Amino acid sequence: MRYNNLQEAVFLKRPNRFRAHIRIHGKEEICHVKNTGRLGELLLPGVRILVEPAAPGSSRKTKYSLICVRKDGQWVNIDSQAPNRLAQEWIADGGFLKDVTLIRREKQYGGSRFDLYVEAGGEKWYIEVKGVTLNVDGTAMFPDAPTERGKKHVEELIACRKDGYRSAILFVIQMKGVQRFAPFDERQPEFAAALRQAEKAGVIVRAVDCIVTGDSIYIDAQVPVCL
């Protein structure tokens, strides 16, 4: 997945979840933050960032969107729209399932709308995708902020499995440099408990990391999941 014309800037502050103040081309500007997580360990005053300019003629209120943050010598992608697209491309290329014949996005099941519905090898899959930007001492962790919606998705994946479908949750770690993935018990123990219950019920739990450059992000390798 590639971006067009990413530009380097400096992060100043984040007055709310959706907006940040940045310095770019010698001026202070307001920037859209494409991630509602806390991002407290990433968005520190003075940190280098990459932003994407709004399309020419756009009616947006902000000129830029925040895409990447520099941490420990590498770029961390924080674009919350990237994981679904990356997962779809990875699955289509046979990274998760073989003999894929159909992929649909935003498929309704029960009270939830799952990110991907996949038919492969004669089986029908409901797959939920979660982006991960939090790295705690080499462990990628989710969630960064409590998410009742995320917990509900996990519970619905269990229901899918009981109804005879295959189901999976894929954590897309938007960086390199982590050794493992684990649920963040301290941030939301209910989500962590639901994820462990799902794994016991037959829901597949996978995590993959990504190579992030100054203009692209790609899924690279599977990462051990520690539940």
Cβ contact 48:86 at 8 Å: no
Task: Tell me what pLDDT residue 51 has.
Answer: 98
pLDDT digits (tens, 9 = 90+) for 77-88: 999 999 999 999
Residues 20-39: pLDDT tens digits?
A: 999 999 999 999 999 988 99
Cα separation, 207 vs 195, in Å, equals 13
Task: Give the per-residue pLDDT at 59.
Answer: 77
Say which amino acid occupies 201: A
* pLDDT value for 146: 87
Q: What is the Rg, in whole angstroms, of the alpha carbon atoms belonging to the chain?
A: 18
Domain range annotation of the chain = 7-77, 82-222
Angle between helices 148-162 and 189-200 (to 10 degrees): 10
Residue 75 half-sphere exposure, CB side, CA atoms within 13 Å?
A: 22
Q: What is the pLDDT of residue 158?
A: 96
Backbone angles phi and psi of 202, in degrees to 5? 105, 5
In eight-state DSSP terms, residue 2 is B
Kindly report the CATH number that applies to the domain delimited by 7-77: 2.40.50.580
Long-range Cβ pairs for the range 142-147 (8 Å, 24+): 142/171, 142/181, 142/183, 142/184, 142/191, 143/37, 143/184, 143/187, 143/188, 143/191, 144/37, 144/38, 144/39, 144/184, 144/187, 145/36, 145/37, 145/38, 145/187, 146/187, 146/188, 146/191, 147/188, 147/191
User: What residues of the chain score a pLDDT lower than 50?
Assistant: none
Helix (H) or strand (E) holding 156: helix 148-162
Domain 82-222, classified CATH 3.40.50.80, yes or no: no
Which amino acid makes up residue 212? V
Extract the tokens encoding 219.
């899924």
- pLDDT for 13 equals 97
Query: Is residue 217 classed exposed, middle or buried when 0-12, 13-18 and 19+ CB atoms within 10 A define those classes?
Result: buried
Report the C-alpha gap between 107 and 114 in whole angstroms.
Answer: 5
